[in-house]
Amino acid sequence: MLKKLAATLLIALCASSASADFLDGTQLLRALRDPQALPFADGYIAGVVDRSRAVTRLSNNTPDGLCFNLPGEVTVAQLTSVVSQWLDGHPQERRYNASGLVRVALSEAFPCKPL
């Protein structure tokens, strides 16, 4: 049931997007506020984190200069809370690509330490 709901939500979100981006900040925030869509939002944010870490490890830097240094004990629920609060506080930015906004929110909350 949950898999079907998540698949339906993903298809609906992708179909409603007017650009090549799959999800914008408004759509992600809507998912974060909906208890039935929250597993999708959690997975989306975790996927952005995993991809960002992989790119950083492979290239030894971040192409856009955004990076974050997550504490080892951080949970997906904490990351979700950070992203949700950031999106709440930046309504003018919500029209942009959600994955980039997740990275901005996390880089502000968990900045990289200078070398």
**DSSP result, 29-51:** HHHHH-TTTHHHHHHHHHHHHHH
What mean pLDDT do residues 20-35 have?
A: 91
Helix, strand, coil content of the chain in percent (nearest 5): 65, 5, 30
Q: Is the pLDDT of residue 58 over 80?
A: no
d(CA 26, CA 110): 22
Mean pLDDT of 76-97: 97
Greater pLDDT, 113 or 9: 113
Q: What is the CATH number of domain 2-109?
A: 1.10.890.40
Residue whose tokens read 């030894």: 60
- CA torsion, points 32, 34, 38, 40, in degrees to nearest 10? -90
